Amino acid sequence: MGPFDFFLPGRRLAKQLTQLDQLSDPLLVDVRTPEEFRSGHLPGAINLPLDQLGTVPLPKGRPVFVYCHSGARSAQACSTLRAMGCQASNLGGLAGYRGPLE
C-alpha cells in the first residue's frame, strides 16, 4: 500500500491513482507554500510552490503528479506544466487525504 491509497476515491482520482501505481518513476510535486509543505506533505514529494513553477526545470519525459490543499492550485500548476511540455496530472488536494504525512 502506497501513500496514494489514502486519497478519498473519485472517478477521476481513482483513474489517476491506478495509472500512478503502474508507473516506475513518477515525480510528486507539492505546489503549496513552503510553510504549508513543512506542516506536512506526502512522502517523497518535492516542494515547488505555484509561483515558482517556471524557475525550476522539470523532466519532460517523466510523469509529474501535482497536489495542493484543495486542488485549485494544483489545477493551475498542471496547466502551466503542460504548457512547458511536462506530462502533468492533478491529484487534487490534501483535504481528502487520510494517510501518513512527512
Find how far residue 42's CA is from the centre of its chain. Answer: 9
Instruction: For residue 26, give the DSSP letter.
Output: P
Active site annotation includes 68? yes
Contact 87, 62 (CB under 8 A): yes
Please identify which of the residues 68, 81, 88, 91 carries the catalytic annotation.
68
Cell (9 digits) for 34: 513552503
Q: Which residues are the active-site residues?
A: 68
